[in-house]
């Protein structure tokens, strides 16, 4: 995308490249670019602006931008080419342009995501108040399992156990039932998208921070982080969910 093309790209693309809002800068950048690819605003073969320019335009750090671009390369939406004519380009056949027969993210998915926010943030409040050291040690071990997991399936099993473990740390059997239901419904959504390593690493870093905040009994920061965690998933699903 040349400077001239960028200057006359129109309101729709201007919205794609407007500054990204904190705190979910990584996930929102993935969503913003992924959605633009899905809608054809960034057609196959389009070259993205140079990294420094794009980071300045989105008002995010270059490291965050690299994470987002790597995620979209890993998911097949972008390709990165080296050399004099290199750069980052929209794939010739992006995954979302092929169609997979799955319905798009809609009202049913939104209902699941809303339910998740309520259950997860509520569990975070009670865990900050009630969790015992053994509960928190178990959560910490699960973050290590997610770090070491060689496959997405291994990561997801530990991820599910982490969130159910959060509910168990509240010592409320009914909340464990609700969390188990939420995780089952989330798995139905998550299995429909690509699973780039950058996304998994970023998500697990939030898990580790959550455990640290629960150890400090810092309810406010823990709840904000969990809300951030849930919102990040929403951005990733919106970006990578196939039509």
Handedness of CA 34, 47, 41, 100 (dihedral sign): negative
Angle at 68 between CA 62 and CA 69, to 5 degrees: 85
Q: Which residue has the higher pLDDT, 80 or 216?
A: 216
Q: What is the pLDDT of residue 1?
A: 57
Q: How many CB atoms lie within 10 A of CB 81?
A: 10
Q: Is the confidence at residue 23, as pLDDT, over 70? A: yes
CA distance 84 to 108: 47
Percent of the chain with pLDDT over 90: 56
CA distance 191 to 181: 16
60-88 pLDDT tens trace: 999 999 999 998 998 888 999 887 778 99
Q: What is the pLDDT of residue 242?
A: 64
Domain 3-98 has CATH 1.10.10.10: yes
| Mean pLDDT value of segment 119-125 | 98
154-205 pLDDT tens trace: 899 999 999 999 999 999 999 999 999 999 999 888 888 878 888 999 999 9
pTM of the model: 0.76
Q: Is the confidence at residue 229, as pLDDT, over 60? A: yes
**239 CB-side CA count, 13 A:** 29
Confidence band of 100 (pLDDT split at 50, 70, 90):
very low
CATH class in words for 107-240: mainly alpha
> Strand, helix or coil at 64?
helix
Q: What is the pLDDT of residue 210?
A: 98
Among candidate residues 129, 242, 123, the one with its CA nearest the CA of residue 183 = 123
Q: What is the pLDDT of residue 36?
A: 84
71, 82 in Cβ contact below 8 A? no
- Domain coordinates in residue numbering, the chain: 3-98, 107-240
Q: Is the confidence at residue 3, as pLDDT, over 60? A: no
| Mean pLDDT value of segment 140-156 | 88
CA distance 56 to 216: 36
Q: Which residue has the higher pLDDT, 103 or 24?
A: 24
Angle between helices 152-168 and 107-130 (to 10 degrees): 50
Q: Choose the weakest-confidence range: 34-48, 166-180, 225-239.
A: 34-48
């Amino acid at each position: 995308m040349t400077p001239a093309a960028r200057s006359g790209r129109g309101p729709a693309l201007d919205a794609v490249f407007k500054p990204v809002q904190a705190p979910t800068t990584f996930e929102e950048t993935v969503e913003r670019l992924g959605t633009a690819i899905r809608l054809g605003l960034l057609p196959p073969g389009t070259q993205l602006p140079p990294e420094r320019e794009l980071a300045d335009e989105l008002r995010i750090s270059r490291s965050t931008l690299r994470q987002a671009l790597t995620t979209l390369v890993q998911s097949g939406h972008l390709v990165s080419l080296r050399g004099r004519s290199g750069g980052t380009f929209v794939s010739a056949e992006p995954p979302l342009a092929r169609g997979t027969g799955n319905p798009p993210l809609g009202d049913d998915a939104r209902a699941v995501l809303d339910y998740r926010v309520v259950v997860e943030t509520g569990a975070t409040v009670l865990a900050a108040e009630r969790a015992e050291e053994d509960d928190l040690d178990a959560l910490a071990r699960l973050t290590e399992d997610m770090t070491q997991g060689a496959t997405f399936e291994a990561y997801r099993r530990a991820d599910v156990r982490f969130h159910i473990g959060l509910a168990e740390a509240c010592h409320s059997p009914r909340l464990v039932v609700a969390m188990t239901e939420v995780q089952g419904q989330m798995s139905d959504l998550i299995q429909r998208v690509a699973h780039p390593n950058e996304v998994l690493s970023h998500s697990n870093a939030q898990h580790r921070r959550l455990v640290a905040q629960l150890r400090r009994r810092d309810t406010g920061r823990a709840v904000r982080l969990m809300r951030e965690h849930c919102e990040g998933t929403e951005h990733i699903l919106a970006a990578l969910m196939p039509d």
